[in-house]
Amino acid sequence: MALGSVMLAGSSLVWAPAGQATTGEEGSVGCIGHSESRYDPPLTLLARPTHVHADITYTCGAHGHTVPATGSFNSDVPAASCVAVSGGSGTESVRYADGGTSLIVYDSATTLRVAGVLVVIQRGRVSEGRGHGHPVQRTITGLPRELPTECLTSGLHGGGNEVQLEIEP
């Protein structure tokens, strides 16, 4: 059911007319994209404190058309491994191609595995810039895959996931 909700929300962003999502202060911002994450130290089977950095490329609905954007996410996770991640705090800086920015602070997360698909839903607020003060939800989905052999040896250095970002009105 949770995966169905995520997929429905994602398809709404993709198929809704771009004019329904704006980057103005009074409206919402809806973005979809792809992230490439790096873990320091690399993830292994043993959970340990880890710094997570992700670079994200987005396409956002804005003023009747789409606007490219980039995001940079950072988090210090208290316990992360190849099989589990705890904590949900972090910050994301979003830069829109039209020159606007949003600094987002995430303070909670829910992690689910549905039919092998990893779904992480983070919640927070825009602390500076476009959408200041508005609530934010970021949904990260990862397709099922085998446990990488790097988890047993040198550790997993990074990975890619699909991301949906919603700055709510």
Identify the three-state secondary structure at position 80: strand
User: Within a 13 Å sphere around the CA of 96, how many CA atoms are in the beta-carbon half?
Assistant: 24
Average pLDDT over every residue of 29-33: 93
The pLDDT of residue 12 is: 37
Q: What burial class does residue 102 get, using C-beta atoms within 10 Å of its C-beta: 0-12 exposed, 13-18 middle, 19+ buried?
A: buried
- Amino acid found at 28: S
Rounded mean pLDDT of the chain?
A: 82
Decide if 70 contacts 33 (C-beta within 8 A): no
Q: What burial class does residue 116 get, using C-beta atoms within 10 Å of its C-beta: 0-12 exposed, 13-18 middle, 19+ buried?
A: exposed
Of the two residues 43 and 56, the one the predictor is more confident about is 56
d(CA 50, CA 28): 32
What is the percentage of the chain residues whose pLDDT exceeds 90?
Answer: 52
Average pLDDT over every residue of 158-165: 94
165, pLDDT greater than 80: yes
d(CA 143, CA 129): 32
Q: How many residues would you count in the chain?
A: 169
Closest among 50, 45, 37, 39 to 151, alpha carbons compared: 45
The pLDDT of residue 64 is: 74
Tokens standing for 162? 């699909």
For the chain, what is the radius of gyration of the CA atoms? 16
This prediction's pTM? 0.81
The pLDDT of residue 145 is: 64
Of the two residues 35 and 83, the one the predictor is more confident about is 35
